[in-house]
Structure 1
Amino acid sequence: MRLVLASASPARLGVLRAAGVDPLVEVSDVDEDALLDANPDATPEQKVTLLGGAKATAVARRIGDDHPDALVVGCDSMLHIDGDLVGKPHDVDTARERWKAMAGRTGELLTGHTVLRLSDGEIDRVAEGHAVTGVRFADPTPDELEAYLASGEPLQVAGSFTLDGLGGWFVEGLDGDPSNVIGISLPLLRRLLGGVGVSPVELWRR
């Protein structure tokens, strides 16, 4: 049984590899903005779960012929703070403003997860859910913030920060699952795998 990760995130891949799983990576190319625009009344939890499900479904439909009995995992993470749900900033100015707003404060990192089990190339079973981890942010000095922005790291990650990279210097603490902040919650993924009849130990490298 092959696990397929429907994500380009090296951080998610790293979490799975450290946990004994060597997944096939297939990027979904889902238009995230269009999906969110089509669901303006969804809650933050529903939005990240919708995105994770869309990614998993797009990949499952693509790889069914080559991997007819695969497990496909899709995830999407966003930061919820002050009533706003924010994803990747993509540019320095946006990342700078986000950090000024969240420095010294607490936000919630939400990740939607979907697991699809294929049978004969078709989606046979579905399990989905979301995980929430509280993140207590430090208050970097202006020089520290500019150096972090110049690194490029915060521009392509949800909430403009990482836990497993340079951004870890500016996270004071967590309330909840650390792997969720990196991008894929192992406790939740274990439960979702169980929901489609699989234990993670079946996926460990032998």
Structure 2
Amino acid sequence: MNEIYLASKSPRRLELLQQMGIACKTVLLREDNNRTRDVDETPLASENPFIYVERMAKMKAEIGVLRARQRALPSMPLLGADTIVVFNGTIFGKPADAADAKRMLKLLSGTRHEVLTCVAVTDGKQMLHDTCVSRVRFRDLVESEIDAYIASGEPMGKAGAYAIQGLGGIFVERLEGSYSGVMGLPLFETSMLLSRFGIKVL
């Protein structure tokens, strides 16, 4: 059976996996700030963005397997992933608030940035991963449309404060790379990794 665990609550990743014909059971990680979070997403001092996104994806996969075992769930491959925006070498994760979202969008306006998505798959014995790199150029944005976009609520919870598959797609002048990778789960890399664990897409 083409079924895996997904250590993410992202509806976009779930939809993309379902698009591939993969059945998913979600293994939620603790994200409540009032309790100990399963994954501390704070970058280390001077951490390279590629090292950071790989570390996050692998950590989510490792902890996802641990949580699945603690809940006595049947053994299946588990997928963890992480997506970041990188602008001039600086990591843009999810905005902390509206002001942070506005700061990011103003910096991205009229410039090019990279979107890195690392996918990690493990069966509890071996861990395989791959990172997809896409380059995105934004058109020039005016402050009023940045404010309107933030008011829509879409930027919150999104790396770099935008969603290419949503209203934020109107800001994208050019994309070099993987559209699904910018969404949060590159289909090519994901299918290649899953095939190594006997999960067939076609």
Fold shared, TM-score > 0.5 on shorter chain? yes
SS at match of 1:28: coil
Return the offset for 1:152: 1.3
RMSD: 1.6
Distance 2:141 2:47 in 1: 33
The residue type equivalent to 1:32 in the other structure is D
Return the offset for 1:199: 2.5
1:13 is matched with 14
More helix by share: 1
SS at match of 1:174: strand
Distance 1:125 1:198 in 2: 15
Return the offset for 1:41: 4.8
SS at match of 1:200: coil
Runs of 4+ in 1 over 6 A off after TM superposition: none
Return the offset for 1:182: 0.4
Distance 2:125 2:75 in 1: 9
1:47 is matched with 52
Distance 2:125 2:39 in 1: 25
Question: Which aligned pairs between 1:71-90 and structure 2 lie closer than 5 A?
Answer: 71-90=77-96
Distance 1:133 1:87 in 2: 16
Equivalenced residues, count: 193
Contact 1:127 1:193 in 2 (8 A): no
Distance 1:52 1:105 in 2: 27
Structure 2: runs of 5+ lacking an equivalent: 31-37
1:174 is matched with 175
2:35 is matched with none
Output the TM-score relative to the length of structure 2. Answer: 0.88
2:33 is matched with none
2:134 is matched with 133
Distance 1:16 1:162 in 2: 18
Question: Which aligned pairs between 1:53-72 and structure 2 lie closer than 5 A?
Answer: 53-64=58-69, 66-72=72-78
The residue type equivalent to 1:132 in the other structure is V
Task: Calculate percent identity across the aligned residue pairs.
Answer: 32
Contact 1:140 1:170 in 2 (8 A): yes
Distance 1:126 1:88 in 2: 26
